[in-house]
Homo-oligomer: A and B are copies of this chain.
Amino acid sequence: MGTSYGLIEIPSTTAAIDVLDIMCKTANVEFVTWEKKLGGRLVTIIVRGTISAVTEAVEAASAHAIKKPVAKAVIANPHEEIVKIVNKSASRLQ
C-alpha cells in the first residue's frame, strides 16, 4: 500500500497539537500516535500516508510550527520492525 511515516519532534504540547492540525489540514495524512514520555519537554507526532503526502505534511509543519522542531524524518517503506514498534505505541493510545 506504500505507507510511509512522517515524524516531527517538537518542544511543548501546544506546539505539537498545533503541528498535527497543520499536517492534517495540509496533506492527506492520518495521525498514528504521539510519544510524550521522553522528558526534556519533547513531543513526537507520527503520521502516515503516501511518501509525497507525509513529506508535504512534515515540510508544512516545519515551516509553520510555533516552535522550532528538534527532529524530523520521513521513513519511506519502513522495515517491519518499525511498523511493529509504531503500532505498539498507537495501541497504547486507545
- What is the interface of chain A, defined by CB distance below 8 A to chain B? 5, 7-9, 11-15, 17-18, 20-21, 24-25, 30-31, 34-44, 46, 66-67, 70-73, 75, 78-82, 84-86, 88, 93
| Known contacts A13-B38, A35-B13, A36-B38; A20 and B81 CB within 8 A of each other | yes
Q: Are B36 and A37 in contact (CB under 8 A)?
A: yes
**Separation of A51 and B30 alpha carbons in the complex (Å):** 25
Whether A82 lies near B36 (C-beta < 8 A) is no
Is the pair A41, B38 in contact by a Cβ cutoff of 8 Å? yes
Q: Knowing A30-B81, A85-B34 are in contact, say whether A72-B40 is a contact too (CB < 8 A).
A: no
Q: How far is the CA of A24 from the CA of B82 in the complex (A)?
A: 9
